[in-house]
Amino acid sequence: MSVTSAPAPATLSDVKPFGMRFRLKGLPWIPLFILTLVLIGAIGGEDLAPQDPNGLNLAAAFKPPFWQAGGSLEHILGTDNLGRDVLSKIIVGARVSVIVSFYAIIFSGAIGTFLGIIAGYFGGWVDTVIVRVAEIKMSIPALALALILSATLDPGLTTVVIVIVFTYWTWYARIIRSEILSLKERDYVAFAKVAGCGPLTIFGRHLLPNIFNTLLALATLQVGQVIIFEASLSFLGLGIQPPDVSWGLMLADARQYITYAWWGITMPGIAIMLTCLSSNLVGDWLRDLLDPQRRQL
């Protein structure tokens, strides 16, 4: 008769480290690498660009990329109608995308989160007013709002940030409101009220920490939308203005030459596509990682 040996007790070497709980092997390495390159380009800017992004050289206008006949390694991705290096403009243009994304997400997230918490926690007429204002805002097309603001403000980086904040705060407000409606019924919130904690204490100690994961996922997912929206405004002449460089402005400048200088509009389009796709993939990964119901341990 065979005797079954008892399983050996677990040792410290058998315990998975904290990082493995988050399944680093599922980390979206390629999207993170692309976003890192965009961030490096935004920080380095002109110091990393091989050429002056605003340097005019009419003799080198419409140079194709280096792999085509007539191209050279001096202008790897070719030049535009004024002889400006396309790669340099893409590197420097990343700064606008990063700055707009940072400020727009910070301000729209702060406004939307504050109003969402107020509406969800207090309810009543406060909730009704905030929800109705959000619904009125959502009924106004974003581009129509941009036209209205551009008529009263000078087009530029500040106008782009203001338009994006007015456009996206409702997204945060609605989602955070739904989270607060559920959280405020939890026992720890009721115990905090019994203990005499005021609304600000409950917000800071009990509600905000529990919606942080949601805010992080929302902010990451919003990066791609903000970049596309900024590019759309600049393409229409309502956003970034020369001599500043942005990907949307590059698309606007190159659209009339697309039939014989395809690289001028294709290269910044690829940069926008890869950045937005990468941010969405990282946002999806964060959402699955931070949601216990989605995560598979």
How far apart are alpha carbons 294 and 297 in whole angstroms? 10
The CATH number assigned to the domain holding 86 equals 1.10.3720.10
Q: For the chain, which ranges sit under pLDDT 50?
A: 1-22, 297
**4 belongs to a structural domain:** no
How far apart are alpha carbons 7 and 277 in whole angstroms? 47
**285 belongs to a structural domain:** yes
- SS3 of the chain: the string is CCCCCCCCCCCHHHCCCHHHHHCHHHCCHHHHHHHHHHHHHHHHHHHCCCCCCCCCCHHHCCCCCCCCCCCECCECCCECCCCCEHHHHHHHHHHHHHHHHHHHHHHHHHHHHHHHHHHHHHCHHHHHHHHHHHHHHHCCCHHHHHHHHHHHCCCCHHHHHHHHHHHHHHHHHHHHHHHHHHHCCCHHHHHHHHCCCCHHHHHHHHHHHHHHHHHHHHHHHHHHHHHHHHHHHHHCCCCCCCCCCCHHHHHHHHHHHCCCCCHHHHHHHHHHHHHHHHHHHHHHHHHHHHCCCCCCC
Cβ atoms of residues 134 and 173 within 8 Å: yes
Residue 139's alpha-carbon distances to 46, 111, 132, 142, in angstroms, are: 41, 19, 11, 9
| pLDDT for residue 272 | 93
What domain range includes position 250? 29-290
Cβ atoms of residues 40 and 280 within 8 Å: no
| pLDDT for residue 13 | 42
**21 belongs to a structural domain:** no
pTM of the model: 0.81
**235 belongs to a structural domain:** yes
**270 belongs to a structural domain:** yes
- SS3 of 125-163: the string is HHHHHHHHHHHHHHCCCHHHHHHHHHHHCCCCHHHHHHH
| pLDDT for residue 130 | 92
**1 belongs to a structural domain:** no
Tell me the longest C-alpha to C-alpha distance in the chain.
Answer: 92
| pLDDT for residue 20 | 43
**262 belongs to a structural domain:** yes
What is the torsion angle, in degrees rounded to the nearest 10, for the CA atoms of residue 151, residue 104, residue 268 and residue 258?
A: -20
Number of domain units in the chain: 1
Does the N-terminal peptide bond of residue 141 adopt cis geometry, omega within 30 degrees of 0?
Answer: no
**75 belongs to a structural domain:** yes
